[in-house]
Amino acid sequence: MSQELSFAVIGCGFWAQYQIAAWQELEGAKIVAVCDQDDERAQQTAKKFGVSNYYTDAKNMLEQESLDFVDIITTIDTHAEFTQLAARYQLPAICQKPFAPDMDTARQMIMAHRAAGVPLFVHENFRWQAPIRRVKAILDSGEIGQAFKGRVTFTSAFPVFDNQPNLAELDRFILADVGSHTLDMVRFLFGEAANLRCLTQRVNPTISGEDVANVLLEMHSGVHCYAEMSYASVLEKEAFPHTLLLIEGSKGSVRLDHNYRIMVTTRERSYRKVATPKKYDWANPDYALVHSSMVNINQDFLTALQNGTKPETTAIDNYRTLQLVYECYRSAKMKQVITLEEPIFS
């Protein structure tokens, strides 16, 4: 039997309420403390999940508790501070997406953990959604032949700011918040990108950042990929929080549609599969697909921490997703195609 690992959470806001519940689905990880600068929020979260200790100061928590890892569920502005704090205490850390506010900071975060000799992972969960895994398995099976074109769509009019009001104040919104998911799925499905061109728009006049982004990527694999994301799209069928896919290959195509429906079409036949994610009582129905994927990614992290192996979304892996995000902003600003440089970690 694997060793049970003790962990603490920093940040007890909107998302942590589900992420802690997702951890409690798993054998082998025990949450022993939570921290939030808001005393009442920390206390209520500890009570809700039966956690013995709560803190308002993260350093104090790491000083007092005996931990195997820490899960950082604060917003992007504090990710560097808390991952570096974990490194100082030689603690493995999991950090929520978007990993870092810029590439230099991301590199420093990675280097701090490397110097401390402890792993740093990024909670990038969308690739762990059941329908996305199923489509990837179909691609890998060769059934539709060599993929040459992919369309990855996250377009919605969901009132995202109701639950996450901080997103309305970000100068960089949809590419950082949703693009970190969408562009990570692009990498998961098609490998690394050679170049990209991005266009952005702000349709909602009450927010600070862009709420529409259209990205065309040429992948090293030869796939031409169109990744589109929007929170301004009033559509016949609201898709949130689904990512829809259409992938064309030399022998056929695969389409991921609403309600987890997957259509596979080849010259010989066309058939439908449904990849329903596992349902959890604690999941918010508006986010059920995403909440289910958190159990899957937490399991990947836990297995890695218990066995000293690598999960899929290490910080070094996510550095490349982050590079796509920030190069999209650069492309939109410069109105240019950007050739992607190979990240080097010596």
Q: Binding-site residue total for ligand NAD (CB under 6 A)?
A: 26
Task: Give the distance, in angstroms, between the CA of residue 221 and the centroid of all CA atoms in the same chain.
Answer: 23
Is 178 a binding residue for ligand 89V by CB under 6 A? The answer is yes
Is 38 a binding residue for ligand NAD by CB under 6 A? The answer is yes
Name the residue with the smallest CB distance to ligand NAD: 13
Q: Give the contacts of 334 (CB within 8 A, at least 6 positions apart).
A: none
**Could you tell which of ligand 89V, ligand NAD, none binds residue 265, using a CB distance below 5 to 8 A set by kind?**
none
CB 211 within 8 A of CB 202: yes
In terms of CB distance, is 62 or 200 closer to ligand 89V?
200
**Could you tell which of ligand NAD, ligand 89V, none binds residue 173, using a CB distance below 5 to 8 A set by kind?**
none
Strands 244-249 vs 93-96: parallel, antiparallel or unpaired: unpaired
Is 314 a binding residue for ligand NAD by CB under 6 A? The answer is no
Is 160 a binding residue for ligand 89V by CB under 6 A? The answer is yes
| Binding flags for ligand NAD, 91-130, as an x/- string (CB under 6 A) | -----xx-------------------------x-x-----
Interacting stretch for ligand NAD, rule CB under 6 A, among 72-80, 106-114, 262-270, 334-342?
72-80
| Spatial distance between the Cα atoms of 65 and 311, rounded to a whole number of angstroms | 25
CB of 11 to ligand 89V, least distance (A): 13
Interacting stretch for ligand NAD, rule CB under 6 A, among 33-41, 150-158, 261-269, 329-337?
33-41
Interacting stretch for ligand 89V, rule CB under 6 A, among 46-54, 75-83, 173-181, 294-302?
173-181
> 40: part of which helix (H) or strand (E)?
helix 39-49
Interacting stretch for ligand NAD, rule CB under 6 A, among 67-75, 86-94, 197-205, 326-334?
67-75
CB 244 within 8 A of CB 258: yes
> 217: part of which helix (H) or strand (E)?
strand 212-219
Task: Kindly state the greatest CA–CA separation across the chain.
Answer: 64
| Binding flags for ligand 89V, 15-44, as an x/- string (CB under 6 A) | ------------------------------
For 98-103, which contacts have Cβ atoms below 8 Å and span 24 or more sequence positions?
A: 98/176, 98/177, 98/180, 98/322, 98/325, 99/124, 99/180, 99/315, 99/318, 99/319, 99/321, 99/322, 100/76, 100/322, 101/76, 101/77, 102/326, 103/319, 103/322, 103/323, 103/326
Is 311 a binding residue for ligand 89V by CB under 6 A? The answer is no
In terms of CB distance, is 69 or 154 closer to ligand 89V?
154
Distance between terminal CA atoms of the chain? 36
Beta bridge partners, 155, equal 230
Interface with ligand NAD (CB under 6 A), residue from 22, 31, 35, 219? 35
Is 283 a binding residue for ligand 89V by CB under 6 A? The answer is no
Is 227 a binding residue for ligand 89V by CB under 6 A? The answer is no
Q: Which of residues 186-205 bind ligand 89V (CB under 6 A)?
A: none
DSSP 8-state secondary structure symbol assigned to residue 35? E
| Spatial distance between the Cα atoms of 61 and 252, rounded to a whole number of angstroms | 54
Tell which residue, 54, 9, 26, has the closest CA to residue 297: 26
Q: Binding-site residue total for ligand 89V (CB under 6 A)?
A: 7
| Spatial distance between the Cα atoms of 148 and 188, rounded to a whole number of angstroms | 15
- By three-state DSSP, how is residue 196 classified? strand
Angle between helices 79-88 and 103-116 (to 10 degrees): 10
In terms of CB distance, is 22 or 160 closer to ligand 89V?
160
Interface with ligand 89V (CB under 6 A), residue from 247, 290, 295, 315? 290
**Where on the chain is the footprint of ligand NAD (CB under 6 A)?**
10-16, 35-38, 41, 58, 73-76, 78, 96-97, 123, 125, 164, 166, 177, 290
**Where on the chain is the footprint of ligand 89V (CB under 6 A)?**
160, 164, 177-178, 181, 241, 290
